[in-house]
Chains A and B, each alone.
Chain A
């Protein structure tokens, strides 16, 4: 009817083109890395990649809500199929979660559409902005709807994890950048919750990919805080952090795949002195971790600094941000120690020296991770390259201020970790999406005083589907009783309608 009323569907301004190019760069890196990582059916993987690129191109550059949601559904479907390379069960759970997010987003978009917002632009009402935050929440890992992120991102194959965690979760925040113009308290609160939840959980993990997934949640919290602050510094910081985190996390996930294949396990305690067996991976891992920590010649520094500067006047938020930075440095340093520095001065000097390598990433893999690290260094040393695409006025980068802050954090973090013996926790199984539902269900039953034992049915394979099946069968048995009682609905309803029109009207 009136979906194509606007004159242009696609808008090619600097903002959109920049993000499309960034997405292309990151996706190209993962495709290169996947060349030697995946073994079979590589042709279909690259076809899916092409459709995925088409999908996020539509999401970023369009002005019409209709094309926007079509693009996002294409991204959902293609990434679902990309996960099948490792496990079909995870693909099914991922699709269900993403589709829930899409449905909520579709509802909110049509709500905005029927209120008069026919194109993607700034939305004035705060409650509508908050609904949009919930709408993109399930797809971008906002707090409260983030529960699916660690199980799914850790079990997907490594290039796909890089795509998911490096770019797909950012699409929601890019949209929020277009929608939110002023300060939004809801987003700031959610952002801080995400930072601390992700960071604390990341400190306790032993599985490399689960740790990186929790780190994703934490860093997305920074972006959320930046957008929600409403000031120019906050938005600049959010944009820089999108760039920094995409490049760094893609790099880390690709390397996690390489390391997993080399050491044949995902626990970080098994990977010692990676600079001996995989020197290129080790170098790029360190560069990415340093960027995450906010080291001053990498992009992560600029983003963290700007976000801190955005809250210049408000003291308690600044303290929270200092704490957040220390938390990030804590878990990054812990990871770096376990991968790099453990036993470097100790007794087992010979540990980690093996003659034969188990897995070689191939030249495409090497080029992927090296290009990503180079991009991190480039945007860190020349931040004006990005900044001049968005804003025309000058801004100062406050190098000295940040440098002092960074050294203080670093010293605090090293002292804490040294005291706690670099937090060697016990290994436990990777999180499953099913366990969460089992806990929720048991909690609900404990409240009602009973504890139900469901027998694992023949047809469903997990707890969530079993409980859905049993609930719906309960409703079905309640309504379907006997043939004549089913027939009896007809005269009942007829008599009710007749009596209503006789006596009430």
Chain B
């Protein structure tokens, strides 16, 4: 009964509800309150790691918390095992940086923004840490409800249309998740994940397949794999840049966590292998990845291009996970870290640079490299990482994913990954080449000093924003050179993924 896990979920919720009250007192205290709150959250996350450091090194970490004191089959419990620890730490630290960036970046409607953002934070932590199926459904729907106003934050026509499309797809995806949970309840009689996992083998074969397919379709909609990806480019490009980084970098990783947790721990992945459905998952993910890269070649808007690139990479990660081999998992987890850092950094950097141009089409991108050379060099470094150039972490994760594919003798998969990174060169280079074109500045514009002003009007906010972008670049290079530091966390996750018996024993045995 470790209360730190509960605090990880409660603190953002508490902050979200306190912000309107703080607004009543005085508006400028808001950002300090937000900053204090995320510091407390990060402190708790570090405390969990430090308290259990020996257990983490021996990969026998297992913390839990029973809500309300009810014992296991009758109540909801929050579980932290190595997989949940990995994802939860990733979420905490990346949201820390995104919220600090938002303090500097968002200029209007800040109160509403922070309330929604902290609600998403609490919901994401809840999704990762929970051990109960219906609790996961509630948190997933909470993510959908609170993220769609954030997509429509800019209040213009494009954003509202994007929010409508995003919400319709989220509702349908959530509905299939609900149907799956109901069927598990009607077959097994319990909603607890461990108990459902223990009793899943005793259901009839048809019912097992039905439940598996329903959950699979729900995850494919949420992850943005090919036939269901239509919401992704519009939603990720119509929102403000920090929300793009959140949606594209962090939120999709939470859905990958639910994909892994439900299909490997609760339902039996060996059934999927027996009927051949894993071949379907691998090939549709690879096809989705290829289409994502091809569509990015024709995107005229830089944020749409980055969103299509996300579709490409998430397809690659899903295919690597679905291979169900040790090398595949290793590559996929490393690429989760890599893609999170690089894509968030790219969205944040691009958001800063296009802040003073009228739109983010490619014509507006001409000559933008000279607005702020440091940030543009960071964008070049991050783009090189997305392509896969050492010593940035994108290369190391590409190596391991390719190794995973080639060791399982899926030669077509490896070839598609290579083709994907080749097309990535073409579309990233297109924008970079456009940005370094020299622009003729009219003399009167130059006299007005419009190009000498910092992009964001208040000085300290500009400092915060540029510091965060440089921090992402620094992290990307440092984790690339020292990618071996992720060896222990990832290797401790893999035995548990391949065999879920330990998870069940830990929970039901207690």
Contacts and interface: CB of A to CB of B under 8 A. Distances in A.
Chains A and B come from one and the same complex: yes
A103 B418 CA distance: 6
A1 B418 contact: no
B464 interface: no
Contacts of A501: 206, 209-210, 213, 275
A476 B293 CA distance: 11
- Max count, chain A CB within 10 A of own CB: residue among B217, B297, B415, B436: B297
A371 B206 CA distance: 80
Interface stretch (A104-112, A122-130, A254-262): A104-112
B239 to A, nearest CB: 19
Interface stretch (A17-25, A196-204, A431-439, A482-490): A482-490
Contact of A472 (B294, B326, B429, B434): B294
Contacts of B168: 487
Interface in B387-433: 387, 389-391, 395, 398-400, 402-403, 406-407, 414-415, 418, 421-422, 425-426, 429-430, 433
Given A1-B330, A70-B395, A501-B213, A483 B426 contact: no
B172 A490 contact: yes
A469 B298 contact: yes
Interface residues of A, number: 48
Interface in B447-504: 484, 487
A400 interface: no
A96 B425 contact: yes
A316 interface: no
A5 to B, nearest CB: 13
A480 interface: yes
B84 to A, nearest CB: 23
Nearest to B231: A486
Given A110-B406, A114-B406, A501-B206, A490 B400 contact: no
A70 B418 contact: no
A404 interface: no
Contact of B297 (A472, A479, A492): A472
A88 interface: yes
A494 interface: yes
Contacts of B363: 458-459
B291 A490 contact: no
A88 B429 contact: no
Interface in A108-148: 110-111, 113-114
B291 A479 contact: yes
Contacts of A489: 227-228
Given A1-B327, A96-B425, A476 B221 contact: no
Contacts of B403: 110, 113-114
A73 interface: yes
Given A459-B300, A472-B295, A486 B230 contact: yes
A348 B492 CA distance: 83
Contacts of A502: 206
Contacts of A473: 298
- Max count, chain B CB within 10 A of own CB: residue among A1, A3, A469, A476: A1
Contacts of B414: 107, 110
B362 interface: yes
Nearest to B390: A70
A468 B425 CA distance: 13
Contacts of B372: none
Nearest to B490: A1
Main secondary structure of the interface of B (DSSP, over half): helix
A498 interface: yes
A107 B422 CA distance: 12
A73 B291 CA distance: 26
A395 interface: no
B400 A497 contact: no
A490 B217 contact: yes
Contacts of A483: 165
A505 B209 contact: yes
Contacts of B210: 498, 501
A354 interface: no
B390 A73 contact: yes
B380 to A, nearest CB: 10
A107 B418 contact: yes
A103 B327 CA distance: 20
Contact of B426 (A73, A468, A476): A468
A269 interface: no
A120 to B, nearest CB: 16
A475 interface: yes
A309 interface: no
B421 A465 contact: no
A96 B422 CA distance: 8
Nearest to B426: A468
Given A92-B429, A95-B425, A96-B425, A497 B165 contact: no
25 contacts: A66-B399, A70-B395, A73-B395, A92-B429, A95-B429, A96-B426, A96-B429, A99-B422, A100-B422, A103-B421, A106-B402, A110-B399, A114-B407, A459-B300, A459-B434, A472-B295, A475-B291, A475-B295, A479-B291, A480-B230, A486-B230, A487-B172, A498-B213, A501-B213, A505-B275
Interface of B: 165, 168, 172, 206, 209-210, 213, 216-217, 221, 227-228, 230, 275, 291, 294-295, 297-298, 300, 326-327, 330, 362-363, 384, 387, 389-391, 395, 398-400, 402-403, 406-407, 414-415, 418, 421-422, 425-426, 429-430, 433-434, 436, 484, 487
Given A1-B327, A99-B387, A113-B403, 4 more contacts: A1-B400, A96-B429, A459-B300, A498-B213
List of 6 A-B pairs having minimum Cβ-Cβ separation, nearest first: A489-B227, A472-B297, A472-B298, A70-B390, A473-B298, A486-B230
